[in-house]
Chain A
Amino acid sequence: MISLRSLGNIDRKIIFAALFLSVSIPLIFDFRLPNRITKEVRAVYDFIDRLPPESAVLVSFDHDTATLPEMSPMARALLRHLFNRRLRVIGLALRAEGSSIGNGLVHAVAAEYNLQEGMDYVFLGFRPEITSAILGMGENIARVFPKDFRGVPLDEIPLMQTVKNYRQIELIISIADDDTPNYWINYANARYHEAVVPAVTAVMATTYYPFLQEKQIIGMVPGLKAAAEYEQLIGRPGDASVGMSAQSIAHLLILLLILIGNLSYLSARRRR
């Protein structure tokens, strides 16, 4: 019979195999659970939904490829909402890898809506030194990005002829896996009073709750769960909705492992 003490020594290979199965089975069988919409995600959706058509929204891809499975579903859901509302998207990146990620995603989602580059959306590319890039765009975007990602001068792009700085931009969304949204909040919001939304990884979420409570940000899209909620709100369940089911089972497994580990520990301590 298996004793409580022996349960405290489960081989790590068994734990790895159990986690692999708990993640892969829901993904293979497309098992989905409904998500309750949180107030911070609803606030972002409502704000975007209220923007007049043709409003300009800046989307900054401030993350690298390591977190792509978590970031790309939320970026896709947000872009789909923006393009579906016929809002004009200005994409850019303040992290080097974000330029290739953002360029690919913006083009792919814009193609779903038959939108035209330069008229309905533009991708500006990457700029280093976050603080000066954010502050510089507050005065003149063309000074920070003289050309877009393709190398076309900004004054030749129809969309950018009416958008010169933050005054013509209604919302900034920073899709990030680090503290880059802090810079957007500290400089674009505090100095230029720009509406900011952080769309961040789940582990970064707690950083932004104080800003949310103080209304320095409109709302927040934290982690895969929020991405799944956003997919639900726009009526297009995708990778995040499936991923959340896998995450649900993985969380249950980890909780079970913690419980087993503690029962074994308490049993051993009582014996001593």
Chain B
Amino acid sequence: MRRQIPVILCFGFGAFMLAQFFVPSRLSIEAYEMVVDWTQTIYVFALLVGVAGMIKYHSEKISGKKAGYFYNLVTLIAVIVMAASGFIWGRGESSPFDWFFTYMQAPMQATVFSLLSFFVASAAYRGFRARNFEAVLLLLAAALVMIGRVPIGDYIWSGFPKIANWILDVPSMTARRGIFIGIGLGTIATALRVILGVERTYLGKG
């Protein structure tokens, strides 16, 4: 029963949502609104499970004094301070939560992300080599898009932006469309497998 009930529920709700799309009656819209509300509520509980799991994971590392447990401690303190400041003083402008967010979280995250450009530059220099015909094509396309998508490219030669746009509009878009069609067909196939109970990995091993 532990596996059958979720499969029955999944089939019922999946089939209902599929059929509802084609039945625009008042009753079906009301039922649809209710399901949408439920999804939001369930998602919030899933978030809570995530937070609880994260706290448990870091607490265990700290209590066991495992390697690098100081960072686990920093993470836990950050979670508690941010949550407490939001609950006590609210999230409005000039609140402690807003201050922590604007002057700590935002610059730290932006800094870490900015470091990526340094590694990209170094990796491009070391790894972007014209080893074969395919690599030459990739190299040329990347170089032309890089120069054509910045103002200095237009300044050097007005043809660069046109070539860059052509690469984005034609070869890149063709590949994208192929990927999108593949994703679409894969999504439909997976959804049908889940609704019909063929795909049950979401139930876990139990």
Interface, chain A (partner B; CB < 8 A)? 10, 12, 15-16, 19-20, 23, 33-36, 38, 64-69, 97, 99-101, 103-104, 107, 127-129, 131-133, 135-136, 139-140, 143-144, 149-150, 202, 205-207, 209-210, 213, 223, 225, 228, 244-245, 247-255, 257-258, 260-262, 265-266
Within 8 Å by CB of A209, from B114, B146, B153, B173, lies B173
Q: Which A residue's beta carbon lies closest to that of B126?
A: A261
The answer to whether A136 touches B122, judged by C-beta atoms less than 8 angstroms apart, is no
The answer to whether B152 touches A252, judged by C-beta atoms less than 8 angstroms apart, is yes
Contacts of A101 in B (CB 8 A): 106
Within 8 Å by CB of B102, from A15, A104, A127, A206, lies A104
Interface, chain B (partner A; CB < 8 A)? 29, 32-33, 36-37, 39-40, 43-44, 47, 91-93, 97-98, 101-102, 105-106, 109-110, 112-114, 117-118, 120-122, 124-126, 128-130, 139, 143, 146-147, 149-155, 161, 165, 168-169, 172-173, 176-177, 180
The answer to whether A254 touches B154, judged by C-beta atoms less than 8 angstroms apart, is no
Contacts of B180 in A (CB 8 A): 210
- Shortest C-beta distance, A31 to chain B (Å), equals 10
The answer to whether B125 touches A100, judged by C-beta atoms less than 8 angstroms apart, is no
- Shortest C-beta distance, B106 to chain A (Å), equals 4
New contact pairs (12) apart from A36-B161, A103-B93, A136-B40, CB-CB < 8 Å: A16-B121, A34-B151, A97-B101, A136-B36, A143-B33, A143-B37, A205-B168, A251-B150, A252-B147, A255-B143, A260-B125, A266-B130
Q: Which B residue's beta carbon lies closest to that of A137?
A: B36
The answer to whether A66 touches B40, judged by C-beta atoms less than 8 angstroms apart, is no
- Shortest C-beta distance, A71 to chain B (Å), equals 10
The answer to whether A128 touches B152, judged by C-beta atoms less than 8 angstroms apart, is no
- Shortest C-beta distance, B53 to chain A (Å), equals 16
The answer to whether A258 touches B139, judged by C-beta atoms less than 8 angstroms apart, is yes
Instruction: Please report the C-alpha to C-alpha distance between residue A223 and residue B29 in the assembled complex, in whole angstroms.
Output: 38
The answer to whether A225 touches B149, judged by C-beta atoms less than 8 angstroms apart, is yes
The answer to whether B176 touches A209, judged by C-beta atoms less than 8 angstroms apart, is yes
Instruction: Please report the C-alpha to C-alpha distance between residue A210 and residue B165 in the assembled complex, in whole angstroms.
Output: 13
Within 8 Å by CB of A245, from B118, B151, B165, lies B151
Within 8 Å by CB of A248, from B37, B106, B150, B172, lies B150
Residues A258 and B40 in contact in the complex (CB < 8 Å), given A33-B152, A210-B173: no
Instruction: Please report the C-alpha to C-alpha distance between residue A64 and residue B130 in the assembled complex, in whole angstroms.
Output: 36
Residues A258 and B117 in contact in the complex (CB < 8 Å), given A38-B165, A66-B112, A100-B91: no
Give the tally of cross-chain contacts (CB within 8 A). Answer: 162
Contacts of A266 in B (CB 8 A): 130
Residues A35 and B151 in contact in the complex (CB < 8 Å), given A128-B43, A258-B143, A266-B130: yes
Instruction: Please report the C-alpha to C-alpha distance between residue A210 and residue B169 in the assembled complex, in whole angstroms.
Output: 8
Instruction: Please report the C-alpha to C-alpha distance between residue A135 and residue B34 in the assembled complex, in whole angstroms.
Output: 12
Instruction: Please report the C-alpha to C-alpha distance between residue A213 and residue B169 in the assembled complex, in whole angstroms.
Output: 9
Residues A104 and B176 in contact in the complex (CB < 8 Å), given A144-B40, A225-B150, A261-B125: no
The answer to whether B147 touches A257, judged by C-beta atoms less than 8 angstroms apart, is no
The answer to whether B124 touches A202, judged by C-beta atoms less than 8 angstroms apart, is no
The answer to whether A150 touches B154, judged by C-beta atoms less than 8 angstroms apart, is no
Instruction: Please report the C-alpha to C-alpha distance between residue A140 and residue B32 in the assembled complex, in whole angstroms.
Output: 12
The answer to whether B147 touches A64, judged by C-beta atoms less than 8 angstroms apart, is no
Residues A136 and B33 in contact in the complex (CB < 8 Å), given A257-B125, A258-B125: yes
Q: List 20 A-B contacts (CB under 8 A).
A: A19-B121, A35-B151, A66-B113, A104-B93, A104-B98, A135-B32, A136-B40, A149-B91, A205-B168, A209-B173, A210-B180, A248-B151, A251-B147, A254-B124, A254-B146, A261-B126, A261-B129, A262-B128, A265-B129, A266-B130
Contacts of B176 in A (CB 8 A): 206-207, 209-210
Within 8 Å by CB of B149, from A19, A69, A202, lies A202
Most interface-central of B36, B39, B122, B173 (chain A CB within 10 A): B36
The answer to whether B93 touches A251, judged by C-beta atoms less than 8 angstroms apart, is no
